[in-house]
Amino acid sequence: MKPSQRTPLDRCRPGVIVTVAWMSGIRCGGSRTDRGSVHLHRRPGPHSRIRILRNATGRRGTPATVPDVLTLLAEKRSGPVRSTPPSRTVGSKISGISDILQGHTLVDLSLLSGPIPLLVAATGAAGGVWLLTGHAGWFRRRAIPLCAATAAILTGCLWFWVERVWRPLPDPIPLTVYLWTALALWAVALLVPRVLIAPRRAWAAAVSVVAAAAVVAACAVQVNLFFAAYPTVGAALGFEHVTRIDFRSVPPPTPTPITGRPLESIWTPPADMPRSGAVTSVNIPGDRSGFHARRADIYLPPAYFTDPRPQLPVLVLLAGQPGQPKDWLTGGRLGTTMDNFAHHHGGLGPVVVVADATGSTWDNPLCVDSPLGHAATYLAEDVPTWTKAHLQVDPDPGGWAIGGLSLGGTCALQMATNYPQTYPTFLDLSGDPEPTLGDHQRTLDAAFGGNQAAFTRVNPLDLLAEHRYPDSAGVFVVGSHDDELKPSIRKACDAARQAGMDVTYVEVRGGHTFAVWSVALATEMNWLATRLGLTPS
C-alpha cells in the first residue's frame, strides 16, 4: 500500500497497534518492518484428516498493518469451549477503514471486527489511564489497591454464586469472562475516590463517570468477542435485518402445491416473487406435551410467497442455554444465511422453525420428558403437527431436519436418536454427547428420579450402541479451539457412524461462539438442501 493510499489509522505507530491488540487478546511480537507495521504471530490451527474451516488473514510472521489487527479481532482465540472431506477457507481481509464504512449504516458496523472494537478498546484504555491518575498520594497508595481488592472480592463472590450455588449452566463460564468483569468492577469502584478527590470540580467528576463507562463498554465488547453473540451494532440494539410479518398475513397451505425431488429441477421462480424471505413469530402450543414454550420464530423463503407455491422442507433450529429463539436471528445471522441461499436457488429454501426447547432463558429441561418438562414430546410431536397443519411444508420425514447450537445441538442429537422417524437428518453444532446439568448424579436426580436405567433409555450414546440408523444422516460441528468438547464430539460422531448413520465431523475455526455456529449453518446449507430434496446432489 502506498503512503498516499493509507488511511489515518493505517499510519498509526506500531506501539498504538500493539497496545490495542494486547487489550483485544492478540499476541504481537517480532521486529518493526516499517512505520505502521508489526509482525503478528498466531499459533497455527490443527491439521488432520478432519475438515477445517478457517478465516484467512495472512501467514504467520508476515507484516500486518492496522487492518490486519482489525481482522484478527474477529479471530481472537478465547480458551476452551463447546461444541474427511476437503478443507474450505472462509472470510476476507479488511483493506482499510474507508472500505468498512462504505455502504454501511451504523447498525451494520461489526462488533467482532473492523473499527468499532478497536475504537472501543482504545477509548477504554484512555478511560483507564484517567481513572488511575490521581493528584493525591493516598489515591495511589490506598485507593487504587483498595478498589482492586474490592473488585476481586466481588468477582470471586460472583464466581462462587454462579459456579457453585446457582449453577445455571452445565459447563463453567470461562475465566476470561470473570477477568473482564473484574476489570469493569474495578473501574466502577475507582469512581468513588475519583469523585472525592475533586468534590468541587464537577467537570472532573463527569469525566470520571464517562471514563468508567468507557472501560465497562470495552470490557463488554471483549466478552462479546469471546461469545460473538452480537455480531453488529444492530444486533446489540435488537435489529435483526429481516422482514417481520404478522402470522395472520402468512398464506395458508394450498391443496395443490408444486412437489418433486429435487424441487429445484422443476421450479421456475415467478417474476413477482419477493427478493427476500420474511420472519414471523407465533406460539406453537404444547397440545400433547403440556410444555410451556416461548413464541417460535419462523423464517419463510421468498418462494413461499408465490402462487402456485412449492412444498418446502423444514429445518427446526434450537438455541442454547441461556438463550431464546431470537438468538438465531441476531448472533446466528439466520435471515442473511437463508436469504443468501435462496438468492442462488430461485427463491427456494427450507421453512426454518426456530422452536423453544427450554421454556425460559435459564431453564434446562434436557430435551427429555421428565419432571422438568416434556420437551421431547413437544419437539417430536407438537412442533411437527402444528407446522404441517399451518404451513405449506413437506409432510414426509425425509424433508425434515433438526439442528441446534450448544444445548440445542445436544437436543438435536437426542431427537435424531430417540425419534429418527421424525428427524432423520440433524445438525449438531457444539452439543454435548448426552443430556447433562453439569454432573451425572445431579442430572439423574433432577430429571430421572435417580434412575440410571431411565437415563440410559434416552441417552444418545446408549441408543447408538444398541440400535441401527441406516436412514439417518447428520453433521457434527465443533470449534477448532474447543479442546474440552472436541474429544466427546468425535466420540459421538464415531458412535453414530458405527450405528449406520451417514455422518461427518467438521471443525470451524473458533470456540464456543456464534462465530462458529453462524458459519457452520451457512456452510452446511448445500449439503442440507440436497439431503432434504431441495437441490440435486
Contact 303, 312 (CB under 8 A): yes
Q: What is the pLDDT of residue 537?
A: 85
pLDDT for 199? 63
Return phi, psi of residue 299, to 5°.
-95, 130
Helix axes 175-197, 144-160, angle to 10 degrees: 140
Domains in the chain, please, with CATH? 1-44 (no CATH), 118-227 (no CATH), 241-249+261-531 (3.40.50.1820)
Q: How far apart are CA 245 and CA 103, in angstroms?
A: 26
161 Cβ contact list (under 8 Å, min separation 6): none
What confidence score (pLDDT) does residue 104 get? 53
> What is d(CA 523, CA 114) in angstroms, rounded to the nearest whole number?
23
Contact 46, 480 (CB under 8 A): yes
DSSP string, 158-190: HHHIIIIII--SSSPPPHHHHHHHHHHHHHHHH
Q: Could you tell me the end-to-end alpha-carbon distance of the chain, in angstroms, rounded to an integer?
A: 43
Decide if 349 contacts 303 (C-beta within 8 A): yes
Tell me whether the omega of the peptide bond preceding residue 308 falls within 30 degrees of 0, making it cis: yes
Helices then strands, each counted (H, E), the chain:
19, 15
Per-residue pLDDT of the chain (537 residues; tens, 9 = 90+): 433 443 333 333 333 333 334 444 433 333 333 333 333 333 333 333 334 443 333 333 333 333 343 334 334 433 333 333 333 333 333 334 434 434 457 777 889 888 999 999 999 999 999 999 876 788 888 999 999 999 999 999 999 999 989 888 877 898 999 999 999 999 999 998 888 766 667 888 899 999 999 999 999 999 998 887 888 888 888 777 789 999 999 999 999 999 999 999 999 999 999 999 999 999 999 999 999 999 999 999 999 999 999 999 999 999 999 999 999 999 999 999 999 999 999 999 999 999 999 999 999 999 999 999 999 999 999 999 999 999 999 999 999 999 999 999 999 999 999 999 999 999 999 999 999 998 899 999 999 999 999 999 999 999 999 999 999 999 999 999 999 999 999 999 999 999 999 999 999 999 999 999 999 999 999 999 999 999 998
Please tell me the distance from the alpha carbon of residue 481 to that of residue 491, in angstroms, as a whole number.
17
